[in-house]
Amino acid sequence: MNPGASARRGMKIFYVYYALLYMINACSAVFSIYFQSIGFSVAQIGQILAVGSAVSLLAQPIWGKAGDRAKSKIRVVQLLALLLVLVVAAMPFSGSYGYVLLVFTLFFFLVIPLIPMTDALTIEYMDRTGGHYSVVRACGPLGFGLISLTLGPLLNGRPTYVFYLLVAILALVALLGFKVPSLPHTPLPEGALPKRAPMRDLFKDKGLLLLLGFLVLMQISHNFYAAFEAVFCSDISGGDNNLIGYSMALCSVSEVIFLLFADKLWRAIGTRKLLLISSAFMMLRYFGLALVAQPAMLLVMDMTHAFCFAATTFALARYIARSVVPELQISGQMLVWVLAQSFAKIVSTLFGGMLVDAMGGIQPVFWIAGGLVAAAAAAFILLSKKVKDPEQEWLALHI
């Protein structure tokens, strides 16, 4: 087969794969509706989701090491998908709190590595075949948005139908894994052992630590908005459940548009400047909502959503692919997702709820969310002057 044609075929497979992976995220985002349908209180739902986030933190070193040492990373993804099929199929068997807590905790433990492992595979493949990782990843929010259109009717019919849909998606992920292209690896000399690198080596990179610190502070603000978005949409004057749907759709559209051009933007300015631009859009969003709480303002600010999540995680994924040793690629990608999704979510939901109660509503807390991003950006600018950026030399050669 022509090498060029083979590479293009491989890219198309990654397009479908990312759409499926983000469909999994969309389905898991509505688990709380199932919990409500079987009579769980808000406190119980919060406990299950909090335990899920905490388990994701514990899973990071386990799956990071497993992925880095596996001969075939896509086979690990397939195994996880198959295990998740069994777990999801078992979800509706019992409505007891202990059973649900156990099964959903296992789900969160197994699902967290899927996207980071695929990120590491995709970036390597795209860079070596001339493709664009950002265009492939744009299929993720596109898949998220498309599957979201089916979730409403499913949930209105019977919440457990979501599990059947999720089983089908996970089965496709496992089967399609056999079609995901692999890159040839240089064989080891006879008698040589594979290289191993301890995860602590990640924390020796001062540039990476600086970026991760900035990411966490920005994602604390973003996860506060994500956690209370539905309540905010229904609380503001003129808001309703339809506004929530419009808001989610616009957020997905903004991510797709950004990601189509993200690779070119990253190559032009690098990770640090992309994070600073993202922080400026985040401040615009939160300060804007703190000033004007109207449906129109909310929808306008939702167009900045891509810079609140997609841009930040994309930039860190790119940095790790370029700056972290191959033996720690999966651990590095896992670290980004766990910090952005799990740690930041725990902090934002815990303290965000306290702040909402203390300040009498969600809107005043947006001042704090915007202020946190502003303080983080100022500290990042000052510290960046003292920490060398290893990315710049590579970018200068590949513009």
Q: Which H or E run includes 81? A: helix 73-90
- Residue 88: the pLDDT is 92
- Residue 303: the pLDDT is 87
Which residues of the chain fall short of a pLDDT of 70? 1-10, 42, 152, 155-157, 182-199, 230-231, 234, 237-242, 244-245, 390-399
- Residue 182: the pLDDT is 66
- What's the rounded Cα separation, in Å, for the pair 381 and 341? 24
- What's the rounded Cα separation, in Å, for the pair 316 and 329? 12
One CATH from 3.30.470.20, 1.20.1250.20, 2.40.170.20, 3.80.10.10 for 1-183? 1.20.1250.20
pTM as predicted = 0.76
34-57 pLDDT per residue, tens: 887 888 876 777 778 778 878 877
- Residue 171: the pLDDT is 94
Task: Report DSSP letters for 252-286, one per residue.
Answer: HHHHHHHHHHHHHHHHHHHHHHHHHHHHHHHHHHH
List every span in the chain annotated with CATH 1.20.1250.20. 1-183, 199-399
CB 333 within 8 A of CB 317: yes
- Residue 172: the pLDDT is 93
Give the helix ranges, DSSP H, for 132-204: 133-157, 161-176
- Residue 394: the pLDDT is 56
Going by CATH, does the domain composed of 199-399 fall within 1.20.1250.20? yes
- What's the rounded Cα separation, in Å, for the pair 252 and 254? 5
- Reading the block at residue 369, the tokens are 């969310």
Q: Which of 41, 35, 38, 29 is nearest to 165 (CA)?
A: 29
List Cα–Cα distances, 280 to 61, 268, 311, 381, in angstroms: 32, 18, 12, 13
